[in-house]
Structures are given as C-alpha cells and as structure tokens.
Amino acid sequence: MLNTLFHDKKLIHLQEIDSTNEYAKSLIKEFTYVSEGTTIVAKNQLHGRGQMGSSWESNPGQNLTFSVIISPKILISEQFQISKIVALALVDFISRLSIKNVFIKWPNDIYINEKKIAGILIENILKNNKIEHTIVGIGLNVNQVDFTTKNATSLQLITSQAYDLNILLANFLELLERNYFLLKSNQHGVINEVYLKNLLGFQKERKFSTSTEQFKATIIGVSSAGKLQLNRNEHLLEMDIKEITFLEND
C-alpha cells in the first residue's frame, strides 16, 4: 500500500495567481519545511508558463492549472526521469477516461490525435549536487472548448462531457503518486520502457526542422539527459528542445 503523499490536507486552492509554480517557489523559500505533495491549484492563472517561456492558454475555472511540490533527492543527471513519470501519469489518467490515442510528445507535452491537451513545466531546486525539491507545474485542458491555438484540444471537446475539476485532480494525484514511487524505488528501467511505448512517433519516420534545414528522421529514443535521439540516414542525432522542431506529417 502506498504512503499517501498527495491528499486533501495538502491542497492550496487559489482564486487567482500569476503562476502556481512561482507560488510554490515562494513557499519553499519562505518556510524551512514544505510538506512533500503540497499542491497549489489556481482557478485562474494569469501568467501560466510552458516550455521555453511560452504561455499557457486557459480560461478561468474551466481547466486544471496546478503545481505539485516533491522532494526526489535524486542526482541532477537523473532529472529527466521526473519529466517521464509526470508525463506517464497524465497519459494513464487520460486513458482511464476511455480516451484513445494519448501520447507524450517529447519532451513532456501530452497529445491526443496530434492535438495538445496538457503541458508540463518542471523546475528543480538543487542542493549538494542533488535535486532537493521539484515543482511540477501542469496545465490540463478540461472543459474549455474555444482556443486561439489551432492544435489545442480538451477533455470536453473529445468526449462531449463536462468534468468536475476537483474529482479529476484527486484521481490524477493518485496516479502521480504511484509513478513517483517507481522513481523513489529506482525502477528506472520500467519508467524508461513505458515512456518509450507512449512516446509520439517512436520508431516512426517524422519531419523535423532546425535553424538551418528540414529533414526526415526516425525517433529511436531519449537520452538520459532528456535529448531526443534520431536516426537520420543511419546516423545518430541527439537534439535538445531548443535545437529542433516537430513538423506536421503529410
């Protein structure tokens, strides 16, 4: 039976905040001890952030925007494992709603039928060459049906159902906890295997672009540092998120 890290007593509900990740950082900075599993949920997040400084579009009260504080105390070199377990928890969670074709788009966006439904922003606080605290920021599109971004979707758009955000959050945190204990028990092999099985485009040829060219390559894995591994004409390429862009397939 799991030790319960994520439970109601650790939920902080906010009506409006610039960023739940920034609020979580302020808690860690202000208090000597912050209970692991503390979750900050915002009804309206004014300046939600994604990867590489991108913004997160979310109408007030319609989606889940929250941050979870954990204390993995793992080596800095293992930090991408955190991204993996969070992404896998989201895939598992969405799939349990009888939704198919849920995949992780490297490095940690969640896509359904080539449309984005969730994003993850992970920020680490280091101490003595280890990750002392991690703030896991998540945006999940739930009941919003109008987006300015053409490749966005939501649970309601897919299923034509409205959802109770509090129930969804509780169910997701339970799955996150299960995956987190895989990490804490050093089951990296299991995490890596399941991550690749759920990776969008794994072992398939896709189109990509860099600052200088467009090309086709096959995704063959992700390095321990979180770089995307591609087979391009029998040559291995390892690309960072800032170096490569996915292009739409024909």
Lowest mean pLDDT among 47-51, 64-68, 208-212: 47-51
Beta-ladder partners of 230: 219, 237
Do 220 and 174 lie in one domain? The reply is no
Closest alpha carbon to 124 in 214, 250, 21, 249: 21
Q: pLDDT by residue (tens digit) across 165-184? A: 999 999 999 999 999 999 99
Quickly state the pLDDT bin for 68 (edges 50, 70, 90).
very high
Overall pTM surpassing 0.75 (yes/no): yes
pLDDT, position 2: 43
151 with 225, same domain? Answer: no
Domain span at residue 22 reads 8-197
State the DSSP H helix or E strand holding residue 232, giving kind and residue range, or none if neither.
Answer: strand 228-232
Q: Are residues 242 and 176 in the same domain?
A: no
The number of folded domains in the chain is 2
pLDDT digits (tens, 9 = 90+) for 125-145: 999 989 999 999 999 999 999
Same domain, 34 and 153: yes
Q: What is the pLDDT, as a whole number, of residue 1? A: 32
CATH number of the domain bearing residue 123? 3.30.930.10
pLDDT in the model for residue 6: 73
